[in-house]
Chains A and B, each alone.
Chain A
């Protein structure tokens, strides 16, 4: 199947700093990527939809100024957690839908963020 990568896989940062997470589709182009958040022992919660060349669409309750999303190319979307706080600690996963490849969504391996 298609491959989606995320970088970094783990990050520890101090409270108040910003952290950037990259999501790349390695062997296909994706006009749309999605960012999810997952708490321990919980399901995935959709945060936002990232569209190449346009503004991201955020789900209700997700602060767009807190979680900045940039989808600069057909293979790269970035999520920046600004002024991170301990409550932002979580597992962040992205997914990408292949351009012209049907409805299947492929997920990245996730990024574990710990804010001290």
Chain B
């Protein structure tokens, strides 16, 4: 079965600093989703990547999918306290839309 490994598991950064979260899959990714979650709340869709080498940006968040489609990274530029939360990567394993999730990365941004 497919597994997703996120690193780091937790991250504390000073406001204004850049940061990167990685998501590595044990199998080729058909689609890779990035979501943000506040504890006890639902998931907010950030971006979806499908093609090898694809890169998407939204405001200060950029996500990339490597050429081999087994790893994705999420980069936040000039972090702000509003970026704090749990970031989850989810993989579409080409079985009718089911998503398998990584364990999450908890981000804290110190003012």
Contact = CB atoms under 8 A, between A and B. Distances in A.
> Is the A/B pair a real complex?
yes
B42 interface: yes
Q: Is the interface of B mostly helix, strand, loop or mixed?
A: strand
A106 B43 CA distance: 8
B103 A42 contact: yes
Nearest to A6: B42
Interface residues of A, number: 23
A39 B42 CA distance: 13
A34 B99 contact: yes
A97 B41 contact: no
Contacts of A43: 88, 101-104
14 contacts: A4-B42, A32-B97, A34-B99, A44-B90, A44-B99, A44-B101, A93-B42, A93-B43, A97-B97, A103-B31, A107-B35, A107-B44, A108-B42, A112-B40
Interface of A: 1, 4, 6, 32, 34, 42-44, 46, 49, 91, 93, 95, 97, 103-110, 112
